Amino acid sequence: MTGADRIKLEPSWKARVGDYLLREDMQALSAFLHERKAAGARIFPPGPQIFAALDATPFDRVKVVILGQDPYHGFGQAHGLCFSVQPGTAVPPSLENVYKELQRDLGIRPPGHGCLTHWAEQGVLLLNAVLTVEEGRAGAHQGKGWEGFTDAIVEALNREREHLVFMLWGSYAQKKGAVIDTSRHRVLRAPHPSPLSAHRGFIGCGHFSAANEYLVRNGQTPIDWALPPAAALTAPASGPT
């Protein structure tokens, strides 16, 4: 998984965090993933999509960072972007609440699907703290090494970029984003959009309009948060990882 002969990092990210994948703890993570797969575990997202968030949003194009926890663990859901699911997959409850707030904040109606690739292509880094999971086992790969790698991604953005927007939804994301220099970046905090907590302040947070206002104020193009309709997307072929 971590070797150069397996998965290639997008060049701008490889220049900044590629060496991290050579660390001993990342080699142990690679061995763990191979062991779990050999034992019959179905790992999501599929191998080529593990680093999809970095592939879709190169380092110099990042404008907004949304931090998630770990991938969806249902078959055919995860494709490497946090909160996003593949075309043709039912919209998860947390994402439904994201869409509710988007409509309340900017008047944008839900698109009828859960694929957020359009955001990623505009500079919204949709980064999970843990990049793999096992079918039916939420959090199965937490504490195995991914967190340090994704911390390195956040730290590189914090250190080398300016005027980014970090959307930290829930205590887990807020803890991970504690290193962010708020004098150089805009940090937006709210409860997680999960049905358990969305109505404690996520609904009404206004993060989407606040992000765009900050970007424009700092000379950047705002994000078009309106997603294309489902008819414009092509559902991928489903299959085992």
Which residues are known catalytic residues? 70
Q: Which helix (H) or strand (E) holds 28?
A: helix 24-38
Q: Which helix (H) or strand (E) holds 219?
A: none
Instruction: Report the C-alpha dihedral over residues 117, 85, 20, 26, rounded to 10 degrees.
Output: -160
Q: Where would I find the H helices in 39-145? A: 52-56, 93-106, 117-121
Q: How far apart are CA 125 and CA 132, in angstroms?
A: 17
Cis ω for the linkage preceding 240 (within 30 of 0): no
Q: How far apart are CA 133 and CA 159, in angstroms?
A: 29
Residue 147 burial by Cβ neighbours in a 10 Å radius (0-12, 13-18, 19+):
middle
Q: What are residue 90's phi and psi, to 5 degrees? A: -60, 140
Which residue in this structure is represented by tokens 């807020």? 174
CB 124, CB 220: distance < 8 Å = no
